[in-house]
Amino acid sequence: MNRRTKITLVVFVLIMAATFLSGLPKEPEETEVMATTEKPQVQELRIAEKPEPQEPEWIEVEATAYCPCEKCCGKWALNRPDGIVYTASGAIAQEGVTIAADWSVFPVGTVVFIEGYGTRTVQDKGAAVKGNAIDIYFESHEEALQFGRQTVKLYVVEVTK
Ligand SMILES: [Zn+2]
């Protein structure tokens, strides 16, 4: 190996070393933390306003009771050959469902909630049931008598057709 070759080799080794060193991963530079005083933009949520639960509008009415008998229904009671009690609406009278009312106050199909008695539907009407009044249907005259005449509170649940 002559001198020239030696030098060439050394230079070559140095270059290789330099190349190798420069290729080493550098210390990661500290990244500047971007402290920001800006508040993050919060998207305004538009929550649909819930309707307030409405207090039912209680109405005081005079309540009487009736049954299918002649005392309660007069001549209508005499025209039930098959024993079925049809109301003025055409629906068959049912205790726990049927009430009679003045249809100009509580239209036929009106569902009411009567305090102490529950839900009833206006299916019938009667000459004696006028204004703020209802007549509650019972199967027996005894029950109707027992109910008698009372002031009750009710509210209209819905008016069905
Ligand atoms: Zn009766």
Q: Where are the domains of the chain?
A: 59-159
Q: What is the identity of the amino acid at 66?
A: Y
Distances (CA, A) of 16 to 3, 9, 11, 25, 64: 20, 10, 8, 16, 113
Is it the case that residue 81 has pLDDT exceeding 90? no
**How many residues belong to the chain?**
161
Read off the pLDDT of residues 84-125 as tens digits, 9 standing for 90 and up.
999 999 999 999 999 999 999 999 999 999 999 999 999 999
Is it the case that residue 29 has pLDDT exceeding 80? no
In this predicted structure, what is the pLDDT of residue 19? 62
User: Per the confidence metrics, is the pTM higher than 0.75?
Assistant: no
User: How many whole angstroms from 93 Cα to the centroid of ligand 1?
Assistant: 13
Is it the case that residue 24 has pLDDT exceeding 60? no
Parallel/antiparallel/unpaired status of strands 59-66 and 133-137: parallel
In this predicted structure, what is the pLDDT of residue 44? 64
Instruction: Confirm or reject CATH 3.40.630.30 for domain 59-159, answering yes or no.
Output: no
Q: What is the identity of the amino acid at 71?
A: K
Considering the chain, what percentage of its residues have pLDDT values greater than 90? 57
In this predicted structure, what is the pLDDT of residue 37? 62
User: How many whole angstroms from 68 Cα to the centroid of ligand 1?
Assistant: 6
Asked whether the beta carbons of 96 and 105 are under 8 A apart, the reply is: no
User: How many whole angstroms from 72 Cα to the centroid of ligand 1?
Assistant: 4
User: How many whole angstroms from 18 Cα to the centroid of ligand 1?
Assistant: 117
Is it the case that residue 7 has pLDDT exceeding 80? no
Report the C-alpha gap between 76 and 48 in whole angstroms.
54
User: How many whole angstroms from 48 Cα to the centroid of ligand 1?
Assistant: 52
Is it the case that residue 28 has pLDDT exceeding 60? no
* Interacting residues of 99 by C-beta distance below 8 A, sequence separation 6+: 112, 120, 121, 122, 123, 124, 134, 135, 136, 137
User: How many whole angstroms from 141 Cα to the centroid of ligand 1?
Assistant: 4
The rounded mean pLDDT for the chain is 85
